[in-house]
């Protein structure tokens, strides 16, 4: 995925209506690369999401590895939220991931007040999983 979190912030700032923003989030999800069926398994499933969400983690070499995430969901809007999380976290070092304030980003986008409680919980579960994977990557090199 080539969309950066800054591009998403900029695009959100041009969209005044929430209906347009939701459409944009869905388009972000549609732009995700195909997710392999073999990766749709219990190991990659994110618990705590009402919709099904899968995340894979690829850890680079080194003491503070770059971590690449891929993901998917069976729900259109949630797939877009996965795309936003990937733009926020994927391709960064484990220590950078630990410092990212996902809640502040979601608040800046206005998503915190426009998501149902179930979707907000699902997003928190995704963030928790991503941060846990980064923490494990750092611990494996210690």
Catalytic residue set: 49
Question: Helices marked H in 1-142 — which ranges?
Answer: 5-14, 18-30, 76-89, 94-99, 102-109, 117-141
Could you give phi then psi for residue 63, rounded to 5 degrees? -70, -30
91: left (phi over 0), alpha (psi -120 to 50) or beta: left
């Amino acid at each position: 995925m080539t969309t950066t979190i800054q591009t998403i912030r900029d695009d959100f700032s041009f969209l005044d209506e929430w209906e347009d923003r939701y459409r944009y989030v869905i388009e972000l999800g549609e732009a995700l690369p195909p997710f392999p069926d073999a990766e749709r398994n219990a190991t990659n499933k994110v618990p705590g999401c009402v919709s099904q969400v899968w995340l894979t983690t690829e850890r680079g070499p080194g003491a503070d590895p770059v971590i690449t995430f891929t993901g998917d969901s069976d729900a259109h809007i949630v797939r877009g939220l996965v795309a936003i999380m990937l733009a926020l976290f994927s391709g960064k070092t484990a220590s950078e991931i630990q410092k990212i304030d996902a809640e502040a980003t979601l608040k800046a986008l206005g998503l915190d007040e426009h998501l149902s409680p179930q979707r907000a919980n699902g997003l928190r579960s995704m963030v928790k999983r991503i941060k846990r994977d980064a923490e494990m990557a750092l611990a494996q090199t210690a």
